[in-house]
C-alpha cells in the first residue's frame, strides 16, 4: 500500500489565535505556500477546503495550479459552516430548516467539486456542530 500524505494551506498560516488575532507570522502568498509544500518529501496532496479561497474556485484552474507544484487535490472538506454566524446553532443539528437545507446543498456542491478535481475523498467533519446543543 502506498501511503498518501496531504496538508492544507493553513499549516503554513499566520497562526492567529484569540490573543494574537493577527498571528505570530507574516502571511505567505499562495504561491509561496505551494512552493514550500512542493518541497516536502512525500507530500503529494493538498487538503482543499470548499469553498476554495484563496485557491482557484474553477476545478480545471485549481488542478492546473496545483500541478504546477506537483500536487493534486487529495481531499475536499466542505467548510461553509466554520466561522459563519448563520450557523451559530449548528449546521446539521440546528432546528432551522432553512439552515439545514443550505448545509446539505453546500455539501452536495462540495461533493460535485471533489468529483470534478478527482479528489480521493470528501471529509464530512461536523467539528463543533451540535456538541453543545444536546437537547435539539
* Residue 53 to residue 89: CA distance in whole angstroms: 24
CATH assignment at residue 23: 3.20.20.150
Per DSSP, 72 falls in state: E
Q: Say if 127 falls within a structural domain.
A: no
Q: Say if 100 falls within a structural domain.
A: yes
**In 1-136, where does DSSP find H-type helix?**
30-38, 59-67, 97-116
* pLDDT for 98: 94
Q: Say if 136 falls within a structural domain.
A: no
Q: Say if 128 falls within a structural domain.
A: no
* pLDDT for 89: 82
Give residue 117's domain range: 5-122
Answer yes or no: are the C-beta atoms of 71 and 31 closer than 8 Å.
no
* pLDDT for 135: 53
* pLDDT for 134: 57
User: What pTM value is reported for the model?
Assistant: 0.84
Task: Write the DSSP assignment of 46-59 as a string of letters.
Answer: EEEEES-TTS-SSH
* pLDDT for 101: 93
Q: Provide the grid cell at 97.
A: 430548516
Q: Say if 134 falls within a structural domain.
A: no
With H, G, I as helix, E, B as strand and everything else as coil, classify residue 37: helix
Ordered per-residue pLDDT tens for the chain, 136 residues: 888 889 999 889 899 899 999 999 999 999 999 999 999 999 999 999 988 888 889 999 999 999 999 999 999 998 866 678 888 888 888 889 999 999 899 899 999 999 999 999 999 877 767 666 555 5
Amino acid at each position: 500500500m502506498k501511503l498518501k500524505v496531504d496538508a492544507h494551506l493553513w499549516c503554513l498560516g499566520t497562526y492567529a489565535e484569540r490573543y494574537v488575532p493577527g498571528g505570530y507570522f507574516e502571511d505567505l502568498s499562495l504561491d509561496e505556500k505551494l512552493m514550500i509544500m512542493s518541497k516536502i518529501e512525500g507530500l503529494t496532496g493538498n487538503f482543499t477546503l470548499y469553498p476554495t479561497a484563496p485557491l482557484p474556485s474553477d476545478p480545471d484552474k485549481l488542478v492546473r495550479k496545483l500541478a504546477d507544484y506537483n500536487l493534486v487535490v487529495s481531499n475536499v472538506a466542505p467548510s461553509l459552516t466554520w466561522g459563519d454566524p448563520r450557523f451559530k446553532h449548528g449546521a446539521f443539528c440546528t432546528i432551522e430548516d432553512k439552515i439545514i437545507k443550505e448545509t446539505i446543498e453546500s455539501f452536495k456542491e462540495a461533493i460535485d467539486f471533489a468529483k470534478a478535481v478527482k479528489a480521493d475523498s470528501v471529509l464530512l467533519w461536523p467539528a463543533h456542530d451540535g456538541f453543545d446543543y444536546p437537547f435539539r
